[in-house]
């Protein structure tokens, strides 16, 4: 049995629309906008061979006036989905992607993203506009985890590749123009899923999950490489100079926040142990022999000291968690609270003390997206949004929690089960 085609990951087989959704509790009046959640959803009768390979599908819920006005789900109509081909001037088809990982809005463009190609522009009603390359200036793949600076409005991103240059940094202006690109020297084709930014630096994660050309056509071409090593890089936004710090081998899919502290860099992220990442990769790669369940996805903190060239590594909790999120008005600056998910719960961490408090939902939660209250008086004054699903797959809800107390404010019953996916975002009307 292939895990990525069954259970909570099982795809849905069509697109639907539903209006006037049932609400338990009360949707806050000021939540006027759309919650979009992206994830893999293979076409009926197809097998992508890996969970990450399924065609992207966005599930959208419209909230306004204290009501849940509609739900709709749409496949992202990429050239790969349509069986089309488009070769860029670099000899690569950067449009033949799944676009199945994340969805953001920047400079009034809604972009669905995956890390091995161009993003796809979507309409507010989830129609696919087409591949987006920032006026022809983007010539590499684009990460699914760009970072928007809350002060400058600039979007920082990167692309990694399987041939040189292996890593390229890009900066997009607040108006949506690609202003600069810069190659970053790394020793090989590392699978860099995420990164971090601070006020003055970019933090690179050069870790030992790498692309192996000899494995193409023989299952997943991504594997753990004991010889590659593991290091974090601190790059100056101004000079692009990078200082590298060796760390204990691990993998990181998702970072929380990072910030500068008296010349040091503090990074919070979810660390996967070698054994856990290999077990997980076997499960989502369609192996006929499922890997045993291995724990090891814990919240970690790295403190990097460029002056002393030292790094401190600290496990902050022993719970298995993933999908860290936070109030992104604090991105790159000191912040106190971090939200993660585990099997049946959302866990709120105080990153100053390291203490985590869990809210058991009794269902499988997706990433918990923080939405700040308009007149917020504290960093955690707002709500968390998460699509949660019954373990038997019978139903899904959009759950809105008070971010300070983790108590339920409202639950929106969705008209169908939503497969477990990746990342979502709240796109407010204003």
Query: Is 423 annotated as contributing to ligand binding?
Result: yes
* pLDDT of res. 82: 85
What is the torsional sign of CA 191, 130, 134, 197? Answer: negative
Residues 43, 48, 49, CA angle at the centre, nearest 5°? Answer: 150
* pLDDT of res. 334: 98
* pLDDT of res. 284: 86
Backbone angles phi and psi of 51, in degrees to 5? -55, -40
The helix/strand/coil state of 214 is helix
Query: Is 145 annotated as contributing to ligand binding?
Result: yes
- Strand 322-325 relative to strand 310-315, pairing: unpaired
Q: Is the pTM of this model over 0.75?
A: yes
What does each of the 430 residues of the chain score in pLDDT, given as a tens digit? 788 899 999 999 999 999 999 999 999 999 999 999 999 999 999 999 999 999 999 999 999 999 999 999 999 999 999 887 666 655 568 999 999 999 999 999 999 999 999 999 999 999 999 999 999 999 999 999 999 999 999 999 999 999 999 999 999 999 999 999 999 999 999 999 999 999 999 999 999 999 987 777 666 789 999 999 999 999 999 999 999 999 999 999 999 999 999 999 999 999 999 999 999 988 888 765 555 666 789 999 999 999 999 999 999 999 999 999 999 999 999 999 999 999 999 999 999 999 999 999 999 999 999 999 999 999 999 999 999 999 988 999 999 999 999 999 999 999 999 999 999 999 999 7
Query: Is 170 annotated as contributing to ligand binding?
Result: no
6 CB-contact burial (10 Å; exposed 0-12 / middle 13-18 / buried 19+): exposed
SS (H, E, C) 378-421: CCCCEEEEEEEECCCCCCEEEEEEECCCCCEEEEEECCCCCCCC
The radius of gyration of the chain's CA atoms, rounded to the nearest angstrom, is 20
CB 88 within 8 A of CB 109: no
Which among 112, 209, 156 is positioned nearest to 332, based on CA atoms? 156
Helical spans, DSSP H, in 246-383:
274-284
Tens digits of per-residue pLDDT, 353-408? 999 999 999 999 999 999 999 999 999 999 999 999 999 889 999 999 999 999 99
* pLDDT of res. 217: 65
- Cα–Cα distance measured from residue 364 to residue 251, given in angstroms and rounded to the nearest whole number: 24
- Cα–Cα distance measured from residue 124 to residue 144, given in angstroms and rounded to the nearest whole number: 19
- Cα–Cα distance measured from residue 389 to residue 253, given in angstroms and rounded to the nearest whole number: 23
* pLDDT of res. 404: 98
* pLDDT of res. 114: 98
Query: Is 254 annotated as contributing to ligand binding?
Result: yes
Which among 16, 124, 36, 22 is positioned nearest to 67, based on CA atoms? 22
- Cα–Cα distance measured from residue 300 to residue 268, given in angstroms and rounded to the nearest whole number: 6
* pLDDT of res. 414: 98
Domains of the chain: 77-380 (2.120.10)
CB 310 within 8 A of CB 301: no
């Amino acid at each position: 049995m292939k895990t990525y085609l069954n259970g909570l990951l099982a795809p849905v087989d069509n697109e639907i629309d539903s209006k006037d959704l049932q609400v338990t509790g009360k949707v806050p009046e000021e939540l006027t906008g759309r919650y979009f959640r992206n994830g893999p959803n293979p076409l009926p009768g197809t097998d992508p061979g890996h969970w990450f390979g399924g065609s992207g599908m966005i599930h959208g819920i419209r909230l306004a006036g204290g009501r849940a006005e509609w739900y709709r789900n749409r496949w992202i109509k990429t050239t790969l989905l349509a069986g089309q081909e488009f070769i860029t001037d670099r000899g690569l088809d950067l449009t033949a992607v799944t676009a199945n990982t994340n969805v953001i809005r920047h400079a009034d463009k809604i972009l669905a993203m995956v890390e091995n190609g161009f993003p796809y522009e979507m309409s507010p009603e989830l129609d696919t506009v087409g591949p987006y390359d920032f006026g022809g200036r983007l010539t590499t793949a684009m990460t699914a985890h760009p970072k928007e600076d809350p002060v400058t409005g600039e979007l920082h991103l990167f692309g990694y590749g399987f041939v040189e240059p292996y890593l390229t940094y890009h900066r997009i202006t607040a108006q949506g123009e690609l202003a600069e690109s810069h190659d970053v020297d790394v020793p090989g084709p590392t699978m860099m899923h995420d990164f971090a930014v601070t006020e003055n630096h970019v933090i690179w994660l050069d870790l030992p999950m790498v692309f192996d050309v000899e494995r193409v056509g023989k299952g997943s071409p991504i594997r753990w490489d004991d010889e590659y090593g593991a290091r974090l890089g601190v790059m100056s936004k101004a000079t692009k100079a990078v200082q590298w710090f060796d760390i204990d081998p691990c993998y990181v899919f998702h970072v929380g926040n990072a910030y500068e502290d008296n010349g040091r860099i503090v990074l919070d992220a979810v660390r996967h142990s070698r054994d856990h990442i290999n077990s997980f990769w076997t499960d989502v790669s369609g192996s006929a022999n499922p890997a045993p369940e291995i724990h090891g996805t814990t919240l970690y903190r790295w403190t990097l000291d460029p002056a002393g060239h030292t790094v401190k590594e600290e496990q902050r909790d022993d719970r298995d968690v993933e999908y860290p999120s936070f109030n992104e008005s604090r991105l790159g600056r000191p912040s106190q609270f971090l939200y993660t998910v585990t099997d049946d719960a959302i866990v709120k961490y105080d990153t100053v003390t390291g203490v985590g408090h869990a809210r058991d939902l009794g269902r499988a939660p997706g990433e918990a997206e923080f939405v700040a209250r308009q007149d917020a008086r504290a960093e955690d004054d707002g709500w968390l949004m998460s699509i949660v699903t019954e373990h038997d797959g019978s139903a899904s809800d959009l759950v809105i929690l008070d971010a300070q107390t983790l108590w339920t404010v409202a639950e929106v019953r969705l008209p169908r089960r939503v497969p477990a996916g990746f990342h979502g975002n709240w796109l407010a009307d204003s």
